Structures are given as C-alpha cells and as structure tokens.
Structure 1
Amino acid sequence: MSRTQDVLAATSEGALSEYLAEEIHRRILTGDIRVGSWLRQDTLAAEFNVSRTPVREAVRALGGRGVLEIIPRRGALVIGSTPRDIRENYEVRAELEGFAAELAAERIQTAQLTALRAAVDDFDGIVAAAAAPDAADRDGELESRWTDANERFHATLLEAADNAHLAASVRESRRRLPHNTTFAALSGSQRQLTINAADHRAILEAIEASDGEKARRLARQHLLRAADLVTRRFERELEVQRRAR
C-alpha cells in the first residue's frame, strides 16, 4: 500500500475532502496536473479509491482558493498558481504574521507561552531526527511531526495576538497554498531545517522578552525566507516539467 493509500485509510470522513484538496493542489503546483487541463472527478475518485462526494467537495474548495474555475455543465478548469502568486502570498503573510508576533509579545498568556516552547522543542527534535542515518526511511514521519509543530506554533502565535480580524486574514492567506509546501522545500537540506528551527526559537525568545519590534522583524524574515525556498522549489519543478514536454 502506498503512503497516500495509508493516509486515506486512516483519514476520517470529515477530513477526507480536505486531504484530497491538499493533494490535488500540490499536484497542480508541481505541474503533475497541468494548468489549462480539466479535472475529471470520476477519474480522481477512481485514483484515490473514494466516492465522488469528497472529490466534489475538494474541487469546490479549490474553486474557492482560485486554483480551479468551476464552469457549469463543463467541469473544473485548472488555473493553478504561478511562482509569483506563491511569493506574493508569502509576502502578505510575512507582514500579517509579523504583526501577530508583535501583538503576541505584548499579550501572550502563560499557557500560550508554554505551547510555543513545546513546539520549538519539537522543531529541535525533528532537526536531530533528520540527521540520523535512517532519516530518509522516516521522511513521512518527519513531515508529519514538522507539520504538527508548525501548525501549533503559528496557531498559538495568532491566538496570543488576540485579534480576530488579523487571524481571519492570515487563515485566508494560508488556505491558498497546501500546508506541506514549506517542509517539502526544507526536507532536502539539513542546513535549512536547522535554520528554520532556529527562526522559531528566535521568535519565541523575542516574545519571552516582550520585545514586540524584534518579534515582528524576526517573524517577517522567517516568512520571507520560506517564500524564497518554496518559490525556488516550484520554479525548478516547473522547469523540469517544461523540459519533459
């Protein structure tokens, strides 16, 4: 059984369409599903061995992200995201999450600070595990651990900022890209994983020191660094796709 099949087998009904949306979006970004092509829901349902209902919900979600254009009586046309779209998304998020870090430095509660520290410690553990001889065999596990720690860190940061409108803006920006794009760009480099973990710890330390200006600057730099990594990765993959055609 493939890793995708393993994930699908373990996925609850409620989360299945979300998983499918993330996977389809990832394939569009990497060029495996080409911009300008039509998505066939019955073909996707057969490939993932699921009913058409979660596929239909996934397609609807991607239409909401602007990745697909839903055309009545014709289907779903792949519009996709360009490297420029990805970079611009991250640039907006860098400003928003930088502001969130600044607010968090002023407003964070003890329980939230504890949660940030736990996430940062988990990042350090992932960096150590990625350096182990069997790291390649555990790539899926490391991705899952990193994704969990990253989600907890950034969600706690937004919670600590205590600004509902800011949180809504960040969520809207984040949903326009699959959640696993950053780890995919990081996973091939122990150096970049180490830098990423150090970024999170530095942001935490600025928040612990109640230094809002520094927390904002570090969070912004962190997101812009991710923008560079992710856009370069997709530019390379698009070039590979072009050469294969």
Structure 2
Amino acid sequence: MNNLDGLPEFKGPGTLANTVCDYLENAILDGRLEAGTRLVERDLAEKFNVSRPPIREAIRQLNNEGLVKIVPRKGAVVARISAKDVEEIYSIKILIEGFAAREAAKKLSEADLRKLKSLIEKMAIQIERAGVSRYVKLAEEFHDLINKAAGNDKLYEIYKRLSKQIICHRINYLSLPGGLRCSLGGHKKIFEALLQRAPDRVESCLTEHIRYAQQVLTMRIKRSEEGNGSANQT
C-alpha cells in the first residue's frame, strides 16, 4: 500500500468509516491500489491513525460495492475483474444505459447539451496531451450526465455501481494505440444523436459504443489470464 500518498481529511459530517471508504475507493478507481492488493486492517489503521473498526466498516462497504473481495485465509483484497465479470456487467450496461439514453434524448436541456459538447471538446484536448486518466474522468462525466438526465433514480444507482467496478480497467484498454480516438468518435456519434433528439439512434450509437468497449476489455483480460496461467505452469 505504498501508493497511498497523503492521508484522508477527517472533517465534516461524515463518519470515519465513510471518509476512509471514500479515500480507498478513489485510490482503487484511479489505479493507485491495483487489483489483488491486500487491504490489511492493522496497516491501514496505523497509516491513517484511526482505530480498526472504521477500517473494517470501510472495507465492508467497498466489498458491498464490488470493489473489494474477502478472500478466505487472505483477507480483503482489491477485486480483480474476469472476462465473465465483463460480460455480465456490460450486458446490464447495454440494457440500462440504452434505456437511459432514450429518455435523455427527450429530456436533456439546452444547458445539458452545451455541457456534453464542452466535455467532448475537453476529451479531444486530452487526446493530444495523452492524458488517459483525465480523459476517462471526462468520459465518465459525459455518461453520468446522460444517465442522470433520464430521471430514474434506481437506474442511476445501478449505473454508478457498475461504473465503479470497471472505471480503473478502462484506463488500461484506452491506453492501446488508437483507443482514445476511437472512444472519442463513439462519444461524438452519441452526442450528434442526442442533438437530433433521436431516441432510436441514440440507443443504437450507445450500444455500439458499449459493445466495442466490452470487446476490447474482454480481449485484454483474457490475454492477462492466459499469461498468468502460463506463468503458473512454469
């Protein structure tokens, strides 16, 4: 856990457990805590200068969100994602985000559309700067705005939970040659369909965008799994 720079700011109305949970969640999502990293209560309590119960509760919350797994005889570790996980997550994303996009096409305000356009422009700038991490955050804002505009709170909760489980892996596959430009092209198609207030086209463009991401991420994970399998046999 040497990648955990600084300390959480324990202030405001939130509990210690929530503060620790938010800090660890951000560290997982931005890649500072990589998949497979052990989260040891004693070490975290010493690092953050808090007792162990808030650490234990924070880990429990992260486990409920799917970001951490409790492994027998090993304890809590940052969750890995398998090809099967990707298939299941993206299958659900296609269903809920397709519906959300159709609703958003009818409900987005002019201010929302201007915000989406601004996000695409900022994403294009990050491509020139090779700013993959920043690009991913902007892309998340883009999709977040669309899903929130659908006006379905339960759908939005599911969307956020699923997004958290894959966001750190998106940095991995978007780092491939041409990955960012291909992604930007998909976002532009979605935006153009939203501008036209065309629900069918929006859903089609978004589904195509999500399926492509699923295929690339699945390929990367399978190669990694095959590599680990070969290494274990030697």
1:123 alignment counterpart: 123
Length-normalised TM-score, structure 2? 0.78
Per-residue CA deviations over 1:25-79 (Å, capped at 9, x if unaligned) read: 7413xxxx5xxxx753335667xx44565753542133213552388x9944787
Matched-pair contact (CA < 8 Å) for 1:26–1:178 = no
1:16 alignment counterpart: 23
CA RMSD of aligned residues (A): 3.0
Of Structure 1 and Structure 2, the greater helix share is in 1
Contiguous gaps of at least 5 residues in structure 2: 11-18
1:152 alignment counterpart: 141
Contiguous gaps of at least 5 residues in structure 1: 131-141
Separation in structure 2 between the aligned mates of residue 198 and residue 74 of structure 1, nearest angstrom: 43
Matched-pair contact (CA < 8 Å) for 2:173–2:220 = yes
Matched-pair contact (CA < 8 Å) for 1:25–1:178 = no
Q: Mapping of 1:210-221 within 5 angstroms?
A: 210-221=197-208
Given the alignment, which residue of 215, 227, 232 partners 1:240?
Answer: 227
- SS of the residue aligned with 1:68? strand
Specify whether residues 24 and 76 from structure 1 end up closer, same or farther in structure 2 by C-alpha distance, changes over 3 A only.
farther
Q: Mapping of 1:117-196 within 5 angstroms?
A: 117-130=117-130, 142-175=131-164, 177-189=165-177, 191-196=178-183
- SS of the residue aligned with 1:205? helix
How far off its partner does 1:200 sit? Answer: 0.4
Is 1:27 matched with 2:16? no
Separation in structure 1 between the aligned mates of residue 196 and residue 132 of structure 2, nearest angstrom: 30
Specify whether residues 121 and 221 from structure 1 end up closer, same or farther in structure 2 by C-alpha distance, changes over 3 A only.
same
Is 1:102 matched with 2:102? yes
Greater relative contact order structure (CA < 8 Å, 6+ sep): 1
Separation in structure 2 between the aligned mates of residue 240 and residue 12 of structure 1, nearest angstrom: 40
Count of residue pairs brought into register by the alignment: 217
Specify whether residues 24 and 51 from structure 1 end up closer, same or farther in structure 2 by C-alpha distance, changes over 3 A only.
farther
Specify whether residues 16 and 163 from structure 1 end up closer, same or farther in structure 2 by C-alpha distance, changes over 3 A only.
same
Separation in structure 2 between the aligned mates of residue 241 and residue 43 of structure 1, nearest angstrom: 28
Separation in structure 1 between the aligned mates of residue 78 and residue 28 of structure 2, nearest angstrom: 13
- SS of the residue aligned with 1:180? helix
1:135 alignment counterpart: none
Q: Give the % identical residues.
A: 24
- SS of the residue aligned with 2:70? strand
Matched-pair contact (CA < 8 Å) for 1:98–1:218 = no
Post-superposition, which runs of at least 4 consecutive aligned residues in structure 1 deviate over 6 A? none
Separation in structure 2 between the aligned mates of residue 157 and residue 105 of structure 1, nearest angstrom: 9
Separation in structure 1 between the aligned mates of residue 143 and residue 218 of structure 2, nearest angstrom: 21
Amino acid at match of 2:102: E
212-221 vs 86-95, greater mean Cα deviation = 86-95
